[in-house]
């Protein structure tokens, strides 16, 4: 049997490795990080993500995941709150990714860590991947699961949006931890939004999507940026009063191609399956990224094991994702536009069911 290569050890890549290894097929996963690390992600497990993890044989509650039952949307001093239409959990990517990589290794996958793939070349027998230190790796099939990062010769189409993603973990005061327990807070701020929730070990994770120009105006420094946000979001100021940051500096990423949906194209190399953010980049507020990563891994490996084509998988996944992605993009625009933010907040406060409806509309993946 020709070897299968998976590039990227996040939820999509690790899940694909676990699924393939369980069938007895040889599979190698290449991960650029040498050890467990934090990733720029909202750390939110939707109902579909939880269902997928259980199907893989992994219970996120055993990793310390924190239940999330409600969503609270806040713009300045206007707040709306309602129950989520699905069960959800808060769990850091550091914990989730490592648990999935361990699962893949137990099932027989070869895991190569601290190996960055520099390029992927199509050859008559399949593919050749060039790595930083492990040399050349040959494979008949490749699953591309590099998340928000692209391989140089397989980059997704650029979608300039001037946005910057930022993330920080905090130890917050006990009373604020109690107030946040069981809830995810979505705070609308000028030009963007921020999400705050609890994850394992009682920490709070703050993720935000802002205009890069706004961060530069704060001197590209975290504390002045946070002071600016707290001035227009009193709830955020209250939550972080006396809080201790858990990282030396925030995680940051720019150039995320929100709205990207990979479709089968005639010149696409056969045998190359794109997973997770390589297949579909849903706006951050939707909280569906991990579910998409896991479900795309399950769908792609199922197609491959049946002898199906990458083009067929991509076409099917694009059909499934098209409508939810449109809704998510519209809501993403409304939540970032200063003139529309107060309208969104007032509407959600008057009709809390609007939040549940929006959460349902933007599910690319639904629990079985």
**Predicted pLDDT at 263:** 78
Which one-letter DSSP state was computed for residue 280? B
Asked if pLDDT for residue 11 goes beyond 60, the answer is yes
* For the chain, the helix, strand and coil percentages under 3-state DSSP, each to the nearest 5: 40, 30, 35
**Predicted pLDDT at 268:** 65
Percent of the chain having pLDDT more than 70? Answer: 97
Beta-strand relationship, 4-7 and 27-31: parallel
Which one-letter DSSP state was computed for residue 261? B
What distance in Å separates the CA atoms of residue 106 and residue 123, rounded to the nearest whole number?
31
Helix (H) or strand (E) holding 213: helix 212-217
Task: For residue 27, give every residue at least 6 positions away whose Cβ sits within 8 Å of its Cβ, in sequence order, or none.
Answer: 3, 4, 5, 6, 17, 20, 21, 108, 109, 110
What is the tens place of the pLDDT at every residue in 220-233?
999 999 999 999 99
Three-state helix/strand/coil letters over 292-354? HHHHHHHHHHHHHHCCCCHHHHHHHHHHHHHHHHHHHHHHHHHHHCCCCHHHHHHHHHHCCHH
SS3 64: coil
**Predicted pLDDT at 360:** 85
What is the tens place of the pLDDT at every residue in 178-232?
999 999 999 999 999 999 999 999 999 999 999 999 999 999 999 999 999 999 9
**Predicted pLDDT at 366:** 66
Phi, psi of 172 (to 5 degrees): -105, 165
Phi, psi of 101 (to 5 degrees): -65, -40
pLDDT band at 1 (very low <50, low <70, confident <90, very high): very low
pLDDT band at 266 (very low <50, low <70, confident <90, very high): low
- Pick from 17-26, 101-110, 135-144, 157-166: least confident: 157-166
Asked if pLDDT for residue 92 goes beyond 50, the answer is yes
Which domains are present in the chain? Answer: 4-159+256-361 (3.50.50.60)
Higher pLDDT, 297 or 356: 297
pTM of the model: 0.94
In the numeric block, the tokens 């998510």 are attached to 328
**Predicted pLDDT at 367:** 56
What distance in Å separates the CA atoms of residue 231 and residue 21, rounded to the nearest whole number?
51
**Predicted pLDDT at 363:** 86
What length is written for the chain? 368
What is the tens place of the pLDDT at every residue in 155-165?
888 888 899 99
What is the tens place of the pLDDT at every residue in 301-314?
999 999 999 999 99
């Amino acid at each position: 049997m020709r070897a299968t290569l998976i590039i990227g050890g996040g939820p999509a890549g690790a899940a694909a490795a676990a699924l393939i290894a369980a069938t007895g097929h040889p599979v190698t996963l290449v991960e650029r990080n040498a050890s467990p690390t934090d990733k720029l992600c909202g750390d939110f497990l939707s109902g579909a993500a939880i269902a997928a993890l259980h199907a893989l044989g992994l219970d996120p509650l055993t990793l310390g995941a924190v239940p999330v039952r409600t969503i609270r949307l806040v713009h300045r001093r206007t707040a709306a709150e309602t129950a989520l239409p699905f069960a959800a959990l808060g769990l850091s990517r550091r914990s989730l990714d490592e648990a999935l990589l361990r699962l893949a290794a137990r099932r027989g996958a070869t895991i190569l860590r601290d190996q960055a793939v520099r390029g992927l070349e199509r050859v008559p027998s399949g593919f050749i991947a060039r790595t930083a230190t492990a040399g050349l790796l040959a494979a008949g099939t490749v699953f591309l699961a590099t998340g928000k990062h692209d391989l140089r010769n397989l980059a997704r189409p650029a979608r300039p949006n001037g946005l910057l993603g930022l993330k920080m973990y905090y130890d917050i005061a006990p009373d604020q931890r109690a107030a946040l327990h069981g809830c995810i807070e979505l705070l609308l701020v000028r030009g963007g939004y921020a999400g705050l929730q609890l994850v394992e070990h009682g920490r709070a994770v703050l993720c935000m999507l802002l205009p890069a120009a706004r961060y530069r105006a704060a001197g590209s420094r975290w504390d002045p940026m946070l002071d600016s946000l707290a001035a227009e979001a009193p709830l955020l100021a209250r939550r972080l009063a006396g809080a201790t940051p858990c990282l030396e500096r925030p995680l940051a990423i720019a150039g995320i191609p929100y709205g990207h949906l990979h479709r089968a194209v005639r010149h696409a190399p056969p045998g190359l399956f794109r997973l997770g953010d390589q297949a579909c980049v849903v706006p951050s507020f939707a909280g569906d990224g991990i579910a998409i990563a896991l479900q795309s891994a399950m769908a792609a490996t199922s197609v491959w094991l049946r002898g199906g084509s990458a083009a067929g998988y991509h076409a099917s996944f694009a059909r499934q994702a098209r409508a939810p992605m449109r809704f998510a993009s519209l809501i993403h625009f409304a939540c970032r536009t200063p003139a529309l933010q107060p309208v969104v907040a007032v509407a959600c406060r008057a009709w809390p069911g609007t939040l549940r409806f929006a959460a349902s509309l933007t599910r690319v993946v639904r629990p079985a």
